[in-house]
Amino acid sequence: MQKQCKCGAAMSIRLRTVIYQNKVEIENVPIFSCESCSRSEVFPEVKPELTGLIGTLGGTPEKQQLLFNEVSEIAHLMMKATEKNRAADSVEMIIDERINELLDLLLLAQSLCDEPWSEDLRKRLSQIAKHSLTVQDF
């Protein structure tokens, strides 16, 4: 998946660590970066989840490390797709597997009447559904 940088070179996407206020390390954030001018920008599709996560930290966060792939299904799927032992599997297969996994968990959450958990799982499923057209490019 590529995008053109303002300088004209191609930007490539990879998972990187974002540092917030010099204290919080957010790992595995999909970032576009340009090798020729070093410009980088957050993958637009994950911005809502990233700003939401940063919003929960408040103005004076403690020093900590967060895994973005735990809140963003896009980052999770990108990680899965780049794991060496999954190299032979298609991205569609990985996405299908994750959807099935989330649906199983959703059934479990609903049978336990765990509403916050169900809501979280529904949000994750909608993240995948929303991006199912773009995710195949990873």
Of the pair 35, 101, the CB lying nearest Zn ion is at 35
Compute the distance between CA of residue 25 and CA of residue 9 in angstroms, rounded to an integer: 28
- Minimum distance of Zn ion from residue 39's CB (angstroms): 5
- Minimum distance of Zn ion from residue 10's CB (angstroms): 9
DSSP single-letter state for residue 47? H
Of the pair 2, 36, the CB lying nearest Zn ion is at 36
Of the pair 36, 51, the CB lying nearest Zn ion is at 36
Compute the distance between CA of residue 137 and CA of residue 44 in angstroms, rounded to an integer: 15
Site residues, Zn ion (CB under 5 A): 5, 7, 9, 34, 36-37, 39
Contact (CB, 8 A) for 99 and 128: yes
3-state DSSP assignment of residue 128: helix
Contact (CB, 8 A) for 53 and 20: no
- Minimum distance of Zn ion from residue 1's CB (angstroms): 16
- Minimum distance of Zn ion from residue 38's CB (angstroms): 7
Of the pair 33, 57, the CB lying nearest Zn ion is at 33
